[in-house]
Amino acid sequence: MTELKNDRYLRALAKEPVDVTPVWMMRQAGRYLPEYKATRAEAGDFMSLCKNAELACEVTLQPLRRFDLDAAILFSDILTIPDAMGLGLYFEAGEGPRFKNPITRIEDVKQLPHPDPEGELQYVMNAVRTIRKGLDGAVPLIGFSGSPWTLATYMVEGGSSKAFTKIKKMAFAEPQTLHLLLDKVADSVISYLNAQIKAGAQSVMIFDTWGGVLSPRDYQLFSLQYMHKIVDGLIRENEGRKVPVTLFTKNGGMWLEAIADTGCDAVGLDWTIDIADAKARVGDRVALQGNMDPSMLYAPAPRIEEEVQHILAGFGEGSGHVFNLGHGIHLDVPPENAGVFVEAVHKYSAKYHR
């Protein structure tokens, strides 16, 4: 494999010295870029874009041509696993992802297959291989999956939800059904992420988008224990280098210590927690990723720079910080504002790494 020209991101996750704080953005390949919109139009629709390795590679590389980012992230979707399990993923205009065959009873769960990462999900692995080749060692490639709890919310609700009544009804009235589902999904995530690593992903991230809708006890029971199982089951070294794992629970700031206890290498932070507090609580055990409010990218350039400096000062000196937004970049953010953000991280972080 090609030698990495820029390994700041991997070094920061290992808490090794870096010259400046590395930075990338969740959803950095996406709808805020006009070139992405053109490529998606060429593909026809979102899933066709995901399933075309050459076009998925193109949109993964697009933000790297604009910005001095320190990592690329696989262009895909968190719902690839449920789709491969036969739930019939489709996208409703204005409503987001939907499933034709949602999970409603334990018999549905028992019939779920274990998707083959090089079978039904081979298009994802083909994208990973194509992107690694296209990157040519410029920066590391991040693979990812949704968390079992987050995937299960879509599988049971049938799509996006605000109240999560169906899955919470299952959690509290039929917990054995939900635990069987979560266990099956966790096993599928392990094989899926390990296949991404074998195909060339140099780091992996688990997105627990909806873990924050749970109570503390239920978060441990229905979300964290299954992410812990995944961390335990992952390939942690490949191509002669450690493969770091980042766990990100949106609205999970109250559970940082428990997340760090899973054995992950980094904890992702949303913008609702002060990074100085997070570092004081868990920074000696794990690296931290985050955590500027994505809406800050609507601000004028001086305000964006000010916020970057505030977060850098909060983390302070030394390695172990990967700068990111606290969630994905919004689709109507001006691309030039994203450029201001990336440049500011490198410009203002150097003094913390002497």
- Output the six-digit token pair for 282: 């868990």
Backbone angles phi, psi at 205, to 5 degrees: -135, 140
* pLDDT tens sequence across 302-318: 999 999 999 999 999 99
pLDDT over 90 percentage in the chain: 96
- Which residues belong to the annotated binding site? 27-31, 77, 154, 209, 327
Distance CA 113, CA 134 (A): 33
Backbone angles phi, psi at 103, to 5 degrees: -80, 125
Contact 256, 267 (CB under 8 A): yes
Distance CA 246, CA 93 (A): 32
The average confidence (pLDDT) of the chain is: 97
The DSSP-derived string for 253-278 is GGGHHHHHTTT-SEEE--TTS-HHHH
Backbone angles phi, psi at 231, to 5 degrees: -55, -40
pLDDT of amino acid 96: 85
- Which residues belong to the annotated binding site for substrate? 27-31, 77, 154, 209, 327
Sign of the CA dihedral with 310 first, then 315, 321, and 325 last? negative
Q: At what angle do helices 175-199 and 225-233 cross, to 10 degrees?
A: 30
pLDDT of amino acid 270: 98
* pLDDT tens sequence across 294-303: 999 999 999 9
Cβ-proximal residues to 81 (8 Å cutoff; 6+ apart), any chain: 115, 121, 145, 146, 151, 185, 188, 189, 192
Distance CA 23, CA 13 (A): 12
Can the peptide bond before residue 291 be classed as cis, meaning omega within 30 degrees of 0? yes
Q: At what angle do helices 122-135 and 53-66 cross, to 10 degrees?
A: 40
Cβ-proximal residues to 82 (8 Å cutoff; 6+ apart), any chain: 89, 99, 151, 154, 155, 185
What the chain holds in terms of domains, given with CATH numbers, is: 8-353 (3.20.20.210)
Write a three-state SS string for 173-201.
HCHHHHHHHHHHHHHHHHHHHHHHHHHCC
* pLDDT tens sequence across 31-66: 999 999 999 999 999 999 999 999 999 999 999 999
Contact 196, 204 (CB under 8 A): yes
- Output the six-digit token pair for 350: 């150097």
E strand or H helix at 62, and its extent?
helix 53-66
- Output the six-digit token pair for 341: 């953000």
pLDDT of amino acid 217: 98
Instruction: Give the pLDDT mean for 265-282.
Output: 98
pLDDT of amino acid 1: 56
- Output the six-digit token pair for 303: 């305000």
Instruction: Give the pLDDT mean for 178-187.
Output: 98
- Output the six-digit token pair for 310: 């505030």
Counts of helices then strands in the chain (DSSP H, E):
16, 11
Model confidence at 93, in pLDDT bands (50, 70, 90)? confident
Residue 211: HSE in the Cβ half-sphere, 13 Å Cα cutoff: 32
pLDDT of amino acid 18: 98
Can you give the pTM of this predicted structure? 0.97
- For residue 305, give Cα distances in angstroms to 288, 336, 339, 345: 20, 13, 11, 8
- Is the pLDDT confidence value at 234 over 70? yes
- Is the pLDDT confidence value at 283 over 90? no
- Is the pLDDT confidence value at 94 over 80? no
Q: Which residues does the annotation mark as catalytic? A: 27, 31, 40, 77, 154
Cβ-proximal residues to 204 (8 Å cutoff; 6+ apart), any chain: 142, 143, 144, 145, 193, 196, 197, 234, 243, 244, 245, 246
* pLDDT tens sequence across 63-88: 999 999 999 999 999 999 999 999 99
